Amino acid sequence: MQVQAERTTKKQAAEEYVQIDDAAWAPFPEAFSEGRITWRLLHVSPEMGSWTAIFACPAGSSFNPHIHTGPGEYLLTKGRMDVRGGREQGGDTAVAPGYGFESSGAYHDKTCFPVPSEFYMTFLGPLAFVRPDGSVIANVGWAEAQGAWDAFVSSRKAA
């Protein structure tokens, strides 16, 4: 037997810092939301499959129905967010400052913002945007989020 030679020693992942208010935010894709939500991608961990972003949601805006395939945690820093139908329908109504844990398998029929709101969220794994019959329109994970964000940055530079 020989000693394995090829294994590459891996380094500690780099630390990162993002100044959240130093650049424009992107329009969140209208295929998955309504009401001119904007967002900023803050981090992706391709090795783990996790990603982190912050979202600004005008009054009346909403995200389309989706399933959290993995756990997600949010900090609502401004406004109000009705998740899983809001408190009146058995879900939660977050009022800033509020924290929420959305578990793997959580179905968000529609997430609505009755007043101008802002929230930060960490995701493990993709969001599965779904049709009324439960079939998957698209999985949106770290790669898709990064792709959308990079396309926005490129378009701004080109402009």
- 89-148 residues near a copy of itself, rule: CB under 8 A: 91-92, 94-95, 97-106, 120, 122, 124-126, 128, 136, 138-139, 141-143, 146
Q: For a copy of itself, how many residues bind (rule: CB under 8 A)? A: 73
Site for a copy of itself in 12-71 (CB under 8 A): 12-24, 42-49, 52, 54, 67, 69-71
Nearer to a copy of itself, 60 or 147 (CB): 147
Residue 88 binds a copy of itself, judged by CB under 8 A: no
Amino acid present at 32? F
We find the least distance from the C-beta atom of residue 44 to a copy of itself, in angstroms, to be 6
**Residues 6+ away with beta carbon under 8 Å from 123:** 50, 51, 52, 53, 68, 70, 72, 141
- Residue from 129, 156, 146, 159 nearest 40 by CA: 146
Q: Which residues, listed in sequence order, are joined to residue 130 by a DSSP beta bridge?
A: 136
Q: For residues 55 and 96, what is the distance between their CA atoms, to the nearest angstrom? A: 14
Judged by CB under 8 A, the residue of 5, 88, 132, 133 near a copy of itself is 5
Which of 81, 64, 73 shows the shortest CA–CA distance to 129? 64
Q: What is the DSSP letter of 29?
A: P
Nearest-approach distance from CB 115 to a copy of itself, in angstroms = 17
85 token code pair: 């139908």
Least gap, CB of 43 to a copy of itself (angstroms): 5
